[in-house]
Amino acid sequence: MEGLEHILTEHPFFAGFSAEHSQLVAGCARNHRFNAGEYLFREGGPANEFFLIRHGRVALEIVSPGQTPIVFETLGEGQIVGASWLVPPYRWMSDARAVALTRAIGVDAACLRNKCETDHHLGYEMMKRFLPILVQRLDATRLQLLDVYGKR
């Protein structure tokens, strides 16, 4: 898996990762290619993988019956798609659709969770990188919720 390991360490999410830890993660990783319109995952499906986008754009969307889907976030090159794999019951909370041709690395969630249980240092390094992303997404979502451009 040498090629994958190299690609992983180049990804901004893994900046500062030790070679040993990179190897561990690469051992759970595989390459993906999604054409425009293809879904990375669907709401309610098992969250058994998370994705590091190498190129392209992914839209997170939610559908209400009788309404067209609403896209509430897009993620692009260098960004991570998927956090529900960290939290039981490990189910996706929205659909993720490739807006354009998208290349990504998928990391097997169960594989990585087990390795983190065994190696807590790996676990802590993963958490340190994930949490800021989640906090930023939470802040962004709150700003969206405020509908600041709407009329008073």
Partner 1 sequence: MAAAPYPDPLAPQLYRVGRVRRELADTTTLELAPVTGPRPTFEPGQFNMLYAFGVGEIAISISGAADAAHFVHTVRNVGAVSAAIAKLEAGATIGVRGPFGTSWPVVAAQGADVLFVAGGLGLAPLRPAIYHVLANRPRYGRVVILFGSRNPKDMLYRRELEQWRQRLDVDIEVTVDHADADWHGNVGVVPALIRRVAFDPHDSFALVCGPEVMMRFTVSALRAEGVVSDRIYLSMERNMKCAIGLCGHCQFGPVFVCKDGPVMRFDKIAEIFAMREI
Q: Does 15 bind partner 1 (CB under 8 A)?
A: no
Binding of residue 35 to partner 1 (CB under 8 A): no
Residue 18 binding partner 1, by CB under 8 A: no
The separation between CA 3 and the C-alpha centre of its own chain, rounded to angstroms, equals 20
Burial per residue of 19-41, b for 16 or more beta-carbon CB atoms within 10 angstroms, e otherwise? eebbebbbebbeebebeeeeebb
Using an 8 Å Cβ cutoff, are 64 and 95 in contact? no
Pick from 80, 93, 95, 83: nearest CA to 40: 95
Does 26 bind partner 1 (CB under 8 A)? Our answer is no
CB of 126 to partner 1, least distance (A): 20
Interaction of residue 1 with partner 1, rule CB under 8 A: no
What are the residues binding partner 1 (CB under 8 A)? 57, 59-61, 68-74, 76, 78-79, 97, 99-100, 136, 139-140, 143-144, 146-152
